[in-house]
Amino acid sequence: MEKFATLNGIVAPLDRANVDTDAIIPKQFLKSIKRTGFGPNLFDEWRYLDHGEPGRDNSGRPLNPDFVLNQPRYQDAQILLARDNFGCGSSREHAPWALLDYGFRVVIAPGFADIFFNNCFKNGILPIVLDASIVDQFFKEVTKTEGYRLIVDLAAQEIKSPAGQVIPFEVEEFRKHRLLNGLDDIGLTLQHADDIRAYEQRRKLDAPWLFDAP
């Protein structure tokens, strides 16, 4: 997993509450054998005027000009600004995979669905819960100012706005440690690689047949 330090990124506003995982990545894409490549189908039903299918080339599809991510000013956005209960629905990890593949590393909202929130951390995305009034203020500023950026400093647990405003945010200590060091579950277990090898040495003495080559 990629380490997360400080992100200075363009903000894209998605002004809807209860955005569910089906909206983030529609069902038909869950049959895929991949965990990457979902970026072009992120928010597929809102982003395009036609129906998307897995394996189809997305480059020639008619874009919905009203959808926010299609506006030139939000290209290359890395921070998604959202409304309450973002990510409700399925437990599948395709939703964070799609956001990550598109390029988002941070989602800011007044609230998230539980499983989605957990799945974000597992996949290197930082979900930040902020007071609804602050989220609202960001929505106003980002729509007013082209090229609006926020600086997210995970170590300091602060967001800095262009006007110099500093907003603190909460993140669980262990999750912060994992993101800062780029540790996924596997990375964490591999920190105990010596223990695993020591176990294998002991086990080879007790049960050598488990190490026979077939």
- Interface with other proteins in residues 166-185 (CB under 8 A): 184-185
Residue located via tokens 């006007």: 163
- C-alpha span between 45 and 156 (Å, rounded): 37
- C-alpha span between 46 and 70 (Å, rounded): 10
Alpha helices in the chain (DSSP H): 21-24, 44-47, 94-102, 114-122, 132-144, 173-181, 185-190, 193-206
Q: Which of 36, 71, 145, 181 binds other proteins (CB under 8 A)?
A: 36
Q: Which of 15, 56, 189, 204 binds other proteins (CB under 8 A)?
A: 189
CA distances (Å), 207 to each of 183, 200, 211, 212, in order?
32, 10, 8, 10
Q: Which is nearer to other proteins, 165 or 189 (CB)?
A: 189
Q: Which is nearer to other proteins, 163 or 193 (CB)?
A: 193
Q: Sketch the per residue contact string, 133 through 172, with other proteins: x for CB under 8 A, - otherwise.
A: ----------------------------------------
Q: If binding is defined by CB under 8 A, does position 72 make contact with other proteins?
A: no
Q: Which residues bind other proteins (CB under 8 A)?
A: 1, 31, 33-36, 93, 122, 184-187, 189-190, 192-193, 195-196, 199-200, 203, 206-210, 212-214
